Amino acid sequence: MLKKNLLKHWNKLYPDHDLKSLDQFMEEIDNTKKQLSFKPHQAEWFKDAIVYSLYVDLFNQDFIGLKSKLDYLQDLGVNCLWLLPILDSPMKDAGFDIRHYDRIRADLMGLPDDASLEDQRKLFREFLKEAHDRGIKVIFDIAINHTSDEHPWFQESRKSEHNPYRDYYIWSKDTNLYKEARIIFEGLEESNWKKDGDSYYFHRFFEFQPDLNYRNPEVLLAMTRHFLFWLTQGVDGFRADAIPYLWKEDGTTCENHPMLHHVVKFMRSVVDYVRPHTLLLAEACQRPNEVVKYFGDGDECNAGYHFPLMPQIFKSLAASDKEPVQTILSTKVTPVIPEAAQWFTFLRCHDELSLELVYVSEADRKYIHDNYCKKPEWDFRLGQGVAARLSELLDRNPQKIGLAFSIMLSLPGTPIVYYGDEFGKLNDHDYYSKMIKLSGKDDTRFLVRGRINWHEVEEKLANTSSFQGRVYYNVKTLLNARKNYQCFGRGDITWIEVADANDQPATAIMAYVRSYQNEKVLVVQNLSEQEFWVKSPIFKNMSFNDLLGKAIVRGKEPGYLMLKPLEYLWIRLSN
C-alpha cells in the first residue's frame, strides 16, 4: 500500500524520472520501521492536546534547563511541547535558517565543547523520555521550504553550475522568473532574488534562506529522510514551516500550487507508515478554504493553524462584539474539515499579530492595527502586523488577558500557549536590539521573544496579587479545566443568542455550548468593560456548576445572569 501511494505521487511530480532512487528509498523506509522501538501513537491524540510553544534557550538556557521545568509545565496543564527551532543554525532567523537537519544546536545541549554528536543525541532522547514519562508529547519545527545559506548543500551549489547540488536550489542568470511571487518580508527584503557570483538564487524569505527546489526528486527524498531520522529519536510530530511555498512554477504566485500537495502527501505517507499517527502540522498563513486543502482527504497534514481566527479574536475584544469571531468560524468562511483533522489555535506566537491581506480585509487590517499598534516600534512589515506580546496588546490587564485565553481555549481546535504569556511576559527590548545586530535586519518580531528570568518570575508568582501572579492563576485555572473535558478539542459548538435587560441583542456577550458525547459546557463571556444583566432561555431552570470556581450571580427572575466587566464563565450543564 505504501509503495502504491508513493508511486502515485512520484509519477505526478516526476513523470520523466526513473524509479531507481524511489526503490532504494523504499528499502530505507522499511529498515527504519524495523529498527523503530516506539509504539504507534493513539489516533488523533492531538485533539486533546494543550500545546506550549517555546524556544529552548530563551525559556531556560538548554535542554537540561528545560528538563528541570517539566514539572512546572505539567502543573500548568500542558501536555504537549512545541519546540521552536532547535536544529543546527547560524541563528539569523531565530533558527528557521537550518544549517544541518540531523543535529540540534550545540548551545542547546549544555554539554562540554568536546561532546560527540551521539552524546548530544543521547541527551535529547533522555529529555524526550522525561517528557513522555509525564504524559507530555514533543513536536518541533522543521523548515522544509528553505535552508540556511550555510547549509552544505548550498555551499556546494554555489561552487559551479555543474555541481550536483546546484539543482537542489533555484538558480538563474537573471531575475525574470516568478515575477508574480509576492515579497513576503515586505519592508525587510526588496526582491526574491539574491545575486551570488554571476547568477541569482531564489528566496521567498530572507536573502540568507535560499529556497529548495522540489522539482528535483533528490530534494524530496533528502528532506523526507530527515523526518525518518527524528522518528527514530522519539519525536511525536513536526510543524512543517512555510508549507504553501514548496512548489514554484513560473506564471503563478508560487503559493498553494496543486503540485505541492503531492510533495506533502508523499511525506505524510512515509511518516505515517513508519510511526502511525505522528503529527504533521501545516504552517500555512492562508484563508481557511486554502488551508483545508492541506488536510487532503485525511491523507496530508493532520492539522493546520487557523491563522484568520487570531486577528478576529483581537477585533472582537476591541469592538466588544462577538460577530468577528462568530463569522470567521461559520461554515461560510471556515469549511468543514475531515473527521480526523484538527485546527490549531493561538493568541500569540513567536511571530507578529499577523494582518496579511491573504486572510484579513483592508478595513480589518486598519481597524486592528489602529487599536493595537500602540507604539511605533510595534509596527511590522509596514502595517501588515503588530509585533507585541499578549500582555502589551491587552494593556497589561490580567482580567482582559484571562478573557482572551478563555475565548481561545474554549473555541474549537487545539490551543497553543506561547511561552511566558501564562504570566504576562512583556516585550523584550534588550533582546530586540541584540538580534538586530546579529541578523542585520530590523525585525520587530524579536520584541516578542527574549529570555525568561526564572528567579525574578518565581518571586512574582509567589505573590498572587502581583500582575504576573494574577495572570498565571487565571491561565492555569483555565488550562486545567479544559484538560478535563474532551468537548473543547473534539466537540460541536452551538452559538447562543443572548439579550440584555431591555430585550435587545447583547452582541458584547459571546456565548456558546461545547458538546461531545455526555459532556456539555456553556461558555459565557462579556467582551465589554460594563456590567451586564443578560438573559437567555438556556439560563433557566439549570443547576449550574462553574468549572473555574467562580460564583454565578443569577437574577430573581428565571433566565437572567449577571456578568461583571470582562467576566467569563464555563458552566457545566446537566444532560
Determine the Cα angle at 26 with ends 20 and 29, to 5°: 145
Q: What is the pLDDT of residue 447?
A: 93
CATH code, domain with 408: 3.20.20.80
> CB 430: neighbour CB atoms within 10 A?
9
| Mean of pLDDT values over 355-384 | 91
pLDDT at res. 575: 66
Cα angle 352, 206, 373; round to 5: 20
Average pLDDT over residues 280-299: 91
Stretch 379-392: mean pLDDT, rounded?
A: 92
How do residues 84-116 score in pLDDT, each as one tens digit?
999 999 998 889 999 999 999 999 999 988 889
- Domain identity same for 339 and 461: yes
Give whole-number Cα distances, 73 to 50, 137, 418, 439, 509, in Å. 11, 12, 12, 31, 32
Mean pLDDT on 371-379: 94
Assess if residue 133 is contained within a domain.
yes
Q: Are 306 and 313 in contact (CB under 8 A)?
A: no
3-class state of residue 525 by DSSP = strand
199 neighbors 172 (Cβ within 8 angstroms) = yes
Q: Are residues 461 and 542 in the same domain?
A: no
pLDDT band at 238, cuts 50/70/90?
A: very high
- Residues in Cβ contact with 166 at an 8 Å cutoff, skipping those fewer than 6 apart: 156, 157, 160
Checking DSSP bridges between strand 414-418 and strand 509-516, what pairing results, if any?
unpaired
User: Domains in the chain: how many in total?
Assistant: 2
What pLDDT does residue 4 have?
92
The whole-number pLDDT of residue 439 equals 78
The pLDDT of 274-284, averaged and rounded, is 95
Residue 515: inside a domain: yes
Q: Are residues 441 and 534 in the same domain?
A: no
User: 26 and 1 in contact (C-beta within 8 Å)?
Assistant: no
Does 151 map to a domain?
Answer: no
Q: Helix, strand or coil for residue 28?
A: helix
Q: Are residues 309 and 419 in the same domain?
A: yes
Distance separating alpha carbons of residues 574 and 520, to the nearest angstrom: 7
Is 478 within the bounds of a domain?
Answer: yes
At 541 the pLDDT is 65
In this prediction, residue 481 carries a pLDDT of 97
The partner residues of 442 in beta bridges, in order of sequence, read none
Grid coordinates 487590517 are at which residue? Answer: 365
Please write the tens of the pLDDT for every residue from 181-206.
999 888 889 999 999 999 999 999 99
Question: Which pLDDT tens digit goes with each residue over 321-335?
Answer: 999 999 999 999 999
Last residue of a domain, one of 454, 483, 512: 483
pLDDT in tens, 525-570: 999 999 999 999 999 866 778 899 998 888 888 889 999 999 999 9
Residues taking part in catalysis: 241, 283
CB 220 within 8 A of CB 474: no
Q: What's the mean per-residue pLDDT of the chain? A: 95
Is 245 domain-assigned?
yes
Q: What is the pLDDT of residue 147?
A: 98
Global confidence as pTM: 0.95
Q: Examine the pLDDT at 237 and tell me if it is beyond 90.
A: yes
- Strands, E assignment, 473-567: 492-495, 499-500, 509-516, 519-526, 532-535, 545-546, 553-554, 560-563
Q: What is the pLDDT of residues 40-87, one digit of tens each?
A: 999 999 999 999 999 999 999 999 999 999 999 999 999 999 999 999
Q: How far apart are CA 332 and CA 359, in angstroms?
A: 14
